[in-house]
Amino acid sequence: MTAVKQLAFTGFLAAALTLTSSSTAWSHHSHAMFDHDKEVTITGTVSQWIFRNPHVFLYVEAKAETGDTLTYTVEMSNITNMLKVGFTATTFKTGDQVTVTMHPLIDGRPGGNYIVATAGDGKQFGRI
């Protein structure tokens, strides 16, 4: 690898990490970063409901085991798949209660890949 390409690649990775921290995830990516042997359920308050492609995102303020309140980033599927299991653009608004089960990020940061959810009114949403 040339020096320029090495630098460029470092830049690329850094860019990817930057994007990851600000917008949470890449689209069409492998789900290898999630632990598919674990399921974590959180109950908390919706802080954002982003109903957009390529991935829908649900942000939930919830208490971690440490007692700290964390913002969990729940990565979901694309809009088409979400509509098929009953989610809509207005399913959640800021302040709603929600319980979400997800495969957590392997590295332990507060986030994961959506499995199922129950809205505050009791409506249940199934697997994609």
Partner 1 sequence: MRATLWISASAGAVLLGLALSIPIAAQTEKPTIFTTTDFRQDRALWTDSAYYRNNTPGQLRGMAINVEGRRTGQELSARPYGSQGTGRADAPSLKSPYPYTNAWEHYQVLLKQANGGTKHTKQTLPDWSGHWSGGAQFGGGAPASSIAAMLTPKYRETFVQEMKAATEGRIWSANSICLPGGYFDAVSAEEFVVTLGRVYSMGSGNGSFTARWIFTDGTPHSPKDKEFVKWHGESIGFWNNDELIVHTNQIHGWKGGPSEFSDQLETVERYRLVGDRLEGEITLYDPEVYISPINARLRFQRDKETAYEDRMQFNTCTDTNGPSPNVYMDAKGLLNERVAGDPLYWEPADTRPWVTYLNESDKRYKASGLKPTARTGTPIKK
Kindly tell me which of 36 and 123 has the beta carbon lying closer to partner 1. Answer: 36
The secondary structure element, H or E, covering residue 9 is helix 3-23
Kindly tell me which of 69 and 86 has the beta carbon lying closer to partner 1. Answer: 86
Query: Is the C-alpha dihedral spanning 87, 27, 105, 69 positive or negative?
Result: negative
| Rounded CA Rg of the chain | 16
Task: Assess 45 for contact with partner 1 (CB under 8 A).
Answer: no
Task: Assess 1 for contact with partner 1 (CB under 8 A).
Answer: yes
Stretch of residues binding partner 1 (CB under 8 A), selected from 45-53, 60-68, 93-101, 117-125: 45-53
Among 65, 67, 80, 121, binds partner 1 (CB under 8 A): 80
Task: Assess 90 for contact with partner 1 (CB under 8 A).
Answer: no
Whether 112 and 38 have beta carbons less than 8 Å apart is answered as no
- Residues in contact with partner 1, total (CB under 8 A)? 45
Task: Assess 49 for contact with partner 1 (CB under 8 A).
Answer: no
Whether 58 and 100 have beta carbons less than 8 Å apart is answered as yes
Per DSSP (E only), the strands in the chain are 40-50, 57-63, 69-75, 97-104, 111-119, 124-125
**Where along the sequence are the contacts to partner 1 (CB under 8 A)?**
1, 4-5, 7-16, 18-19, 22-33, 36-37, 50, 52-55, 57, 77-80, 83-84, 113, 115, 127-128
